[in-house]
């Protein structure tokens, strides 16, 4: 693609402060979807990710989560109701949504609704994520944009949904 070809997100796709030969190369994982391009019912799936002990510890240290269910093996085995350590729900949420994250230059995250930790995730479990476009609606605050609601489900290696949330995007309409 050359700079003279039409594109969406021109300022992010062809930044002025970059050498022309480099700016002409398409940006990896930078979608240019508009509100009209999102279709209710459309699904995507991610690759898988194993929730390793080191990653879990690193996340817990980063967010200062020292709850015994996620940090204390002896407590989890002897006193916890699951008999083993959990992966923090916030980490499952972050990792699960990260598996399907995109860099759509015409959209940004408005937030999440209906977040539920449905089943526990343990050290060593492998997760994957499935998303479904659930709805589209006008954005009363931004007439040039709409809202897209994406249902996100994080699924473990046994095929069980362990986390669900509705991700709300603000997405620009196609220019007229």
Q: Is residue 103 part of a domain?
A: yes
Q: Is the pLDDT assigned to residue 57 strictly greater than 90?
A: yes
For residue 174, which of 8, 3, 63, 2 has the smallest C-alpha distance?
8
Q: Is residue 28 part of a domain?
A: no
Q: Is residue 163 part of a domain?
A: yes
Q: Is residue 116 in a domain?
A: yes
Domain membership of residue 101 as a residue range: 33-172
Residue 24's pLDDT band, with cuts at 50, 70 and 90, is: confident
CA distance 37 to 128: 25
pLDDT in tens, 97-109: 999 998 888 899 9
Confirm whether 97 is domain-assigned: yes
> Distance (Å, rounded) from C-alpha 159 to C-alpha 156?
5
116 versus 25: the higher-pLDDT residue is 116
Among 127, 120, 126, residue whose Cα is nearest residue 153:
127
Give the pLDDT confidence score for residue 8 in this predicted structure: 46
- Tell me whether residue 120 is in a domain: yes
Question: Predicted confidence band at 72 (pLDDT cuts at 50, 70, 90)?
Answer: very high
Q: Where are the alpha helices (DSSP H) in 66-107?
A: 68-71, 73-78, 89-98
Report the CATH number that the domain containing residue 154 is assigned in CATH: 3.10.129.10
Rounded to an integer, the average pLDDT of 133-145 is: 94
Confidence of residue 43 (pLDDT cuts 50, 70, 90): very high
CA–CA separation, 137 vs 171, rounded Å?
Answer: 10
- Asked whether residue 1 carries a pLDDT value surpassing 70, the answer given is no
Mean pLDDT of the chain: 89
Comparison of pLDDT for 123 and 3, the residue scoring more: 123
The H or E element containing residue 112 is strand 107-117
Q: How many structural domains does the chain have?
A: 1
What is the pTM assigned to this prediction? 0.85
pLDDT at 161 over 90: yes
Contact between 152 and 102 (Cβ < 8 Å): no
> What is the band of 90 on the pLDDT scale with cuts at 50, 70, 90?
very high
Residue 9 lies in a domain: no
Task: Give the pLDDT score at 104.
Answer: 86
Inside any domain, residue 10: no
């Amino acid at each position: 693609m050359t700079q003279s070809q039409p594109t969406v997100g021109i300022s992010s796709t062809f930044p002025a402060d970059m050498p022309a030969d480099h700016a002409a190369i398409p940006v990896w994982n930078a979608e240019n979807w508009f509100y009209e391009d999102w279709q209710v019912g459309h699904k995507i799936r991610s690759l898988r990710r194993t929730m390793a002990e080191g990653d879990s510890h690193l996340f817990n240290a980063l967010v200062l989560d020292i709850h015994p269910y996620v940090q204390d093996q002896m407590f989890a085995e002897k006193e916890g109701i699951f008999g083993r350590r959990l992966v923090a729900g916030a980490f499952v949420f972050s990792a699960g949504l990260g598996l399907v994250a995109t860099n759509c230059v015409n959209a940004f995250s408005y937030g999440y609704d209906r977040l539920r930790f449905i089943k526990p995730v343990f050290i060593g479990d492998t997760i994957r994520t499935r998303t479904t476009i659930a709805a589209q609606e006008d954005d009363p605050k931004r007439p040039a944009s709409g809202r897209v609601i994406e249902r996100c489900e994080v699924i473990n290696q046994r095929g069980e949904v362990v986390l669900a949330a509705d991700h709300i995007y603000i997405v620009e309409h196609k220019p007229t």
